[in-house]
């Protein structure tokens, strides 16, 4: 471990492995270790073979900033030794929010983050948005990111329409942060959200009350967790959703589904679980400022095969000195 943050009084940090292979995340626990800045050594034991992102971080107590580095690591059937990862200060990125339509009176309900791509990491930073719409991310580690904007009550009727990093438009593939780049981030928000409503009927054409209706973006955008929406039906089988990002979706309603304690771990986020139901979803296109109504037939899940993957976990070790 090599640390390049002069003047820091921090003495320990954290190293962790984040699996990139499908299905590994549920099988792995405790793939992390502490390291001391004095020598930077760490050992992570019982690591199954696979592809990982190795992340090292520590808090600079003098400044309060977190410092972080990542690198990809391949683990086979034997121990991996002599791994080196270098922590250095990240990049400061200035940005601005622009609006199509009238912006909210209070920008305090908006939270902007940078989501690392291809890594099991939390969203990085949430800068303060000034009244003029400007903000700044500090100390962003080198890597690829996607900007996300969370809209909290009472500000629900906006969506992130487009984004640019420097002169380059940002797609779902995100943008790359590199040391030495002095580029700004521009995020365009729109108030022209879509709305969706409808009714769910069971196999006997009776209203399906208390059933969860799920809106799922089309396959190219299924990595955009913020575009998934769910809501229950009322006693008459009716439902409504508002504040939706325009685009192409499928709408589903199952007679039984596991929502999980964490919303993003619900059944419908699992591609293998969803696969047998794809043809039963109702395809829709939502226009800006559009309203659409759909009639759904309840999808029965009883007797369906459980597609969740069970993994045999191998044993190995990863270390660095």
Which residues, in sequence order, are CB contacts of 133 under 8 Å at separation 6+? 96, 97, 98, 99, 103, 107
The pLDDT value given to residue 318 = 45
Beta bridge partners of residue 95, listed in sequence order: 135, 185
Residue 271 predicted with pLDDT over 70: yes
CA 273/CA 2 separation, integer angstroms: 42
User: Which strands make up the sheet holding 291-297, listed edge to edge?
Assistant: 238-244, 194-201, 291-297
Element (H, E) at 24: helix 24-27
- With bands split at pLDDT 50, 70 and 90, how would you rate the model's confidence at 158? confident
CA 176/CA 173 separation, integer angstroms: 9
Residue 155 predicted with pLDDT over 70: no
Q: For residue 192, which of 161, 163, 221, 171 has the smallest C-alpha distance?
A: 161
The pLDDT value given to residue 256 = 85
Mapped onto helix, strand or coil, the DSSP state of residue 193 is coil
Q: Which residues of 38-72 are buried (b: 16+ CB within 10 A; e: fewer)?
A: eebebebeebbbbebbbbbbbebeebebbbbbbee
CA 3/CA 15 separation, integer angstroms: 13
Average pLDDT over residues 243-267: 84
Average pLDDT, whole number, for the chain?
81
Top pLDDT among 71 and 136 is at: 136
- Cβ atoms of 173 and 221 within 8 Å: the answer is no
Q: Which structure tokens are listed for 221?
A: 């955008």
Site of tokens 């296109």: 285
Domain ranges of the chain: 2-88, 91-190, 194-297
The pLDDT value given to residue 1 = 41
Average pLDDT over residues 53-72: 75
Instruction: Give, rounded to a whole angstrom, the gap between the first and last alpha carbons of the chain.
Output: 7
Beta bridge partners of residue 101, listed in sequence order: none
Q: For residue 155, which of 97, 105, 101 has the smallest C-alpha distance?
A: 105
The pLDDT value given to residue 120 = 52
The pLDDT value given to residue 60 = 66
pLDDT in tens, 96-152: 999 988 777 777 778 888 988 865 555 566 788 888 889 999 888 888 899 988 765
pLDDT in tens, 282-312: 999 999 999 999 999 999 886 554 444 333 3
Question: What is the third-level CATH fold of 91-190?
Answer: Immunoglobulin-like (2.60.40)
Which residues, in sequence order, are CB contacts of 6 under 8 Å at separation 6+? none
| CATH number given to 194-297 | 2.60.40.10
The pLDDT value given to residue 22 = 56
Q: For residue 55, which of 141, 113, 123 has the smallest C-alpha distance?
A: 141
The pLDDT value given to residue 168 = 93
Residue 28 predicted with pLDDT over 60: no
């Amino acid at each position: 471990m090599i640390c390049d943050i002069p003047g820091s009084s921090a003495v320990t940090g954290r190293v962790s492995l984040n699996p990139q292979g499908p299905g590994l995340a549920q099988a792995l626990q405790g793939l992390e270790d502490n390291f001391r800045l004095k020598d930077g050594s760490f050992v992570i034991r019982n690591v199954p073979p696979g592809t990982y992102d190795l992340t090292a971080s520590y808090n600079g107590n003098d400044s309060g900033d977190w410092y972080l580095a990542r690198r990809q690591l391949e683990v086979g059937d034997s121990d991996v030794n002599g791994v080196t990862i270098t922590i250095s200060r990240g990049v400061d990125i200035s940005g601005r929010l622009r609006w199509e339509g009238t912006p909210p009176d209070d920008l305090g309900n908006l939270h902007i983050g940078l989501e690392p791509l291809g890594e099991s990491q939390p969203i990085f930073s949430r800068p303060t948005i000034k009244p003029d719409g400007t903000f700044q991310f500090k100390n962003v580690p080198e890597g690829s990111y996607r900007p996300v904007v969370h809209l909290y009550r009472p500000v629900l009727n906006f969506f992130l329409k487009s984004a640019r990093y420097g002169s380059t438009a940002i797609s779902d593939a995100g943008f790359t942060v590199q040391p030495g780049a002095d580029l700004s981030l521009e995020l365009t928000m729109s108030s022209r959200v879509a709305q969706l409503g409808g009714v769910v009927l069971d196999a006997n054409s009776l209203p399906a009350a208390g059933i969860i209706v799920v809106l799922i973006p089309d396959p190219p955008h299924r990595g955009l967790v913020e575009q998934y929406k769910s809501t229950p039906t009322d006693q008459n089988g009716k439902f409504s959703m508002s504040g939706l990002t325009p685009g192409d979706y499928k709408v589903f309603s199952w007679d039984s589904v596991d929502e999980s304690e964490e919303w993003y771990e619900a059944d419908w986020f699992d591609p293998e679980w969803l696969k047998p139901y794809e043809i039963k979803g109702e395809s829709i296109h939502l226009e800006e400022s559009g309203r659409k109504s759909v009639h759904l037939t309840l999808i029965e899940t009883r007797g369906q095969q459980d597609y969740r993957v069970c993994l045999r976990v191998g044993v190995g070790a990863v270390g660095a000195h």
